[in-house]
Amino acid sequence: MTFFDVRQIYAHLDRINRHLDSGTGYGGRGRDYSHEFKHLEKLLMALDTNVQELVNQVANNNSLVASVIAGLKVESDQITALQAQVEALTAQIGSGQAIDAEDLTAITKAVSDLKDTNAQLTTAIPASTPGV
């Protein structure tokens, strides 16, 4: 619905009010009122549809934002866990202990999981998405 459509609604309401204020009542003009009301009803229904569409778009946007936040939280948690693993391995090496196959498997899995998360987030929200 455009501003022009809203102006049309007000114009129809104004015509109805002028007829009512003129004191002539319905005297022979019942069809004019009927036409005005039917046209006004169509305009209002179009407005209702557009308003609902906007409400739906806002809901979709809110859902998208919540999904992005959840995805970034998962990624952030994985990065924090990976940093902790690297710090632990660095300390282990610094104390003269060797890194065993289990340590390498764990850090390789953490890096792989983070890579998978990034790929999923990139697919869900591609780079240069407007408004993101």
State the pTM of this model: 0.54
- Return the percentage of the chain with pLDDT > 90, whole number: 30
Q: What is the pLDDT at residue 83?
A: 94
Dmax over CA atoms of the chain, in Å, equals: 104
* Mean model confidence pLDDT for the chain: 78
111-120 per-residue burial string, b: 16 or more CB within 10 A, e: under 16 = eeebeebeee
Q: What is the pLDDT at residue 90?
A: 92
Q: Where are the domains of the chain?
A: 3-124
Average pLDDT rounded to a whole number, residues 117-132: 72
67-90 per-residue burial string, b: 16 or more CB within 10 A, e: under 16 = eeeebeeebeebeeebeebeeebe
Return the higher-pLDDT residue of 114 and 9: 114
List pLDDT tens digits, range 55-113: 788 888 888 888 888 888 999 999 999 999 999 999 999 999 998 999 999 999 999 99
Residue whose entry in the numeric block shows the structure tokens 């179009």: 46
Q: What is the pLDDT at residue 56?
A: 82
Q: What is the pLDDT at residue 1?
A: 45
